[in-house]
Amino acid sequence: MADPIDDLDRWLRGDFVRINTALEEAYFAERIDVISGRPEIDALKRELLQQGGPLMDRLAAMTLPVDPNAGYRLLGLIGHYLAACERHESPLSDREGGRQAAWAVSTKIGNALGVVPRFVFAHQSLFNEAVGGRYRTFTALPDEEIFIRYNALGVLAYYRAAEALRAIANIGVSSVVAAYLFDQAEAALNDVLRFNQDLARQLNVERFFFNIRPYFKTYRVGDTDYRGANAGDFSAINEIDVTLGLCSMNDPFYAAIVREKSHHVPPDDLGVLRSLAKRRSIAEMFKADQDANGATPQWKTNAAKFLAICKAHGAAYAFHHQRLVKAYVEAPSKTASSAHSAGVTSSGPPLDEVMGMLKRLMELRTARPNLNVP
Ligand code: HEM
């Protein structure tokens, strides 16, 4: 008998995509984010549950993978199904659609790995292997593929910048060798901006709002509602903020954001987030080195590079705020109809609150550190 995990993966790449796409096209034709109580649409939702339910039940009967990566991958596969059930507001009781089996397996994996027992964005961006060149998507809509592609590229570029900056702690800010790392970090952050711009050029606002965003909503696992997935659930952006000295874990506003996201990030990122409270920032290193040794020519060269990095970080994040969040979520939410019972944000709080939090983060990230460069 075929492996239940392989069967689930095959289904997620086949009929699951067909059903979701058919539902999305029906919603899009009416520019609404969900339709309920219409026979042909309810029949598609029933098909989703009738096919997905037995696959979940089979998972509950098997021995779960011991390897952490395999477990994390399985959590994402199950989460794709649960997220789709939630997105379509499928009319089902706790006993239907294999939900109890899906919850039991997700809870076991979540507890073992110290992560929330649900699908998070990393399952789509970083733990999503391509088969024949195609990674898992909820639908066959080109906009969804574009959304995942540029999000994943942006996240990878943030990791690259974080890694370059991390290495500077052991080299010192006035080293000629550090100059190479500063250049690497700046190039990576320029890539983030470029990927965000490519995303904004290619992603249709209405398609995102009606057909993509709703898959990232809050869903329930057992007795608990777990907040939705968002593309910010990875450690690198916070590592960059703190390492540059733009944000600090001593700031209660910022520390609360990092704490809140910590169980939504991939398992390896948790250690990085925990280490942030002890990080010495590069801005502090520049000041200490200048106080002790004066501003040597290499100190000045590297300080200019550091300021260029801060500028690139601010520019990429300001673009996210102005051209992605405002254009794809805030603006359409004022004019488009939403039939969903949950709000339009992925985290749950009202949009105004989320916008206020994101604006404050933008202000921190676009601030220019004062290095007193002579
Ligand atoms: C169409 C594209 C995008 C839209 C509409 C969007 C929208 C949002 C929204 C609404 C939030 C707040 C989530 C909530 O709490 O409800 C958020 C958070 C976040 N997003 Fe995006 N986003 C997009 C793409 C990206 C990309 C490509 C990246 C990075 C590679 C990114 C990085 C972040 C980060 C880091 C956060 C967490 C808050 C923070 O630390 O700034 N987003 N985004």
> Within this chain, do residues 219 and 351 fall inside the same structural domain, yes or no?
yes
Q: Measured in Å, how far apart are the chain's first and last C-alpha atoms?
A: 72
> Within this chain, do residues 198 and 319 fall inside the same structural domain, yes or no?
yes
366 pocket-lining for ligand 1 (C-beta < 6 Å)? no
CA of 278 to the centre of ligand 1 (A): 26
User: Is 144 in contact with 211 (CB distance < 8 Å)?
Assistant: yes
Query: For residue 203, which atom of ligand 1 is closest to its CA?
Result: 1
Mean pLDDT of the chain: 94
CA of 198 to the centre of ligand 1 (A): 15
CATH of the domain at 230: 1.20.58.480
Give the pLDDT score at 345.
62
Identify the residue whose C-alpha is closest to ligand 1 atom 10.
Answer: 325
Give the pLDDT score at 87.
95
> Within this chain, do residues 158 and 280 fall inside the same structural domain, yes or no?
yes
> Within this chain, do residues 92 and 147 fall inside the same structural domain, yes or no?
no
Of 70, 88, 119, the domain-final residue: 119
Residue 227 within any structural domain of the chain: yes
Residue 281 within any structural domain of the chain: yes
How many independent structural domains does the chain possess? 2
Pocket test for ligand 1, best of 325, 326, 345, 359 (most atoms within 8 A of CB): 325
Residue 128 within any structural domain of the chain: no
Give the pLDDT score at 211.
97
230 pocket-lining for ligand 1 (C-beta < 6 Å)? yes
> Within this chain, do residues 167 and 308 fall inside the same structural domain, yes or no?
yes
258 pocket-lining for ligand 1 (C-beta < 6 Å)? no
Question: 274 lies in which domain range?
Answer: 142-366
User: Is 85 in contact with 48 (CB distance < 8 Å)?
Assistant: yes
CATH of the domain at 62: 1.20.58.600
Residue 124 within any structural domain of the chain: no
Coil, helix or strand at residue 92: coil
The 10s digit of each residue's pLDDT in 27-52 is 999 999 899 989 999 999 999 999 99
Identify the residue whose C-alpha is closest to ligand 1 atom 6.
Answer: 325
Give the pLDDT score at 346.
61
361 pocket-lining for ligand 1 (C-beta < 6 Å)? yes
> Within this chain, do residues 47 and 106 fall inside the same structural domain, yes or no?
yes
Of 119, 150, 184, the domain-final residue: 119
Phi first, then psi, for residue 156 (nearest 5°) are -60, -40
Closest by Cα among 290, 314, 292 to 373: 290
> Which residues, 6 or more positions from 321, have their beta carbon under 8 angstroms from its beta carbon?
358, 359, 362
Residues of the chain with pLDDT under 70: 1, 92-94, 337-348
> Within this chain, do residues 83 and 30 fall inside the same structural domain, yes or no?
yes
253-256: Cβ within 8 A, 24+ apart: 253/360, 254/364
> Within this chain, do residues 191 and 55 fall inside the same structural domain, yes or no?
no
Of 77, 104, 119, the domain-final residue: 119
> Within this chain, do residues 148 and 286 fall inside the same structural domain, yes or no?
yes
Residue 270 within any structural domain of the chain: yes
Query: For residue 354, which atom of ligand 1 is closest to its CA?
Result: 15
Residue 135 within any structural domain of the chain: no
Measured over the CA atoms of residue 101, residue 103, residue 107 and residue 113, the dihedral's sign is: positive
45 pocket-lining for ligand 1 (C-beta < 6 Å)? no
Residue 125 within any structural domain of the chain: no
> Within this chain, do residues 187 and 304 fall inside the same structural domain, yes or no?
yes
329 pocket-lining for ligand 1 (C-beta < 6 Å)? yes
> Within this chain, do residues 171 and 306 fall inside the same structural domain, yes or no?
yes
Give the pLDDT score at 17.
98
Give the pLDDT score at 370.
81
> Which residues, 6 or more positions from 193, have their beta carbon under 8 angstroms from its beta carbon?
312, 315, 316, 319
Residue 130 within any structural domain of the chain: no
Give the pLDDT score at 343.
59
> Within this chain, do residues 91 and 234 fall inside the same structural domain, yes or no?
no
CA of 237 to the centre of ligand 1 (A): 11
